[in-house]
């Protein structure tokens, strides 16, 4: 089976839908940074220790950046996290 080609847009949602999320995602990332979730910071995802490795700027898909602004590496793998899922270690 061939892989689906992704062009960054959803059916029925043109480029305008993802362009509107840009400022919202940027502000979500800024809120995370202002709360101390900077790259290299040790955090807890629930009770699992991890390290912030980046920020999620995705404007489409299941895990968009405004809801899941943090990218965290744990012993179980890399995950995108919302602010309510992590705490500073």
Report pLDDT digits (tens) over 47-69. 999 999 999 999 889 999 999 99
DSSP-based helix, strand, coil % in the chain, nearest 5: 25, 30, 45
Classify residue 65 by burial, with Cβ atoms within 10 Å: 0-12, 13-18, 19+.
buried
Q: Supply the range of the domain harboring residue 77.
A: 38-89
In a domain, 67, yes or no: yes
Report pLDDT digits (tens) over 3-45. 545 454 444 444 455 556 677 888 999 999 999 999 999 999 9
In a domain, 68, yes or no: yes
Residues 6+ apart with CB under 8 A from 63: 56, 80
Please answer whether residues 52 and 72 qualify as being in contact, where contact means their C-beta atoms are separated by less than 8 angstroms.
yes
In a domain, 15, yes or no: no
């Amino acid at each position: 089976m061939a892989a689906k080609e992704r062009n960054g847009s959803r059916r029925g949602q043109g480029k305008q839908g993802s362009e509107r999320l840009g400022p919202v995602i940027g502000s979500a990332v800024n809120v995370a940074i202002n709360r101390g979730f900077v790259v290299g910071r040790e955090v807890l995802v629930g009770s699992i220790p991890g390290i912030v490795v980046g920020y999620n700027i995705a404007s489409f898909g299941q895990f968009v950046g405004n809801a899941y602004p943090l990218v965290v590496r744990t012993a179980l793998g890399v995950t995108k996290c919302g602010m309510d899922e992590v705490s500073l270690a």
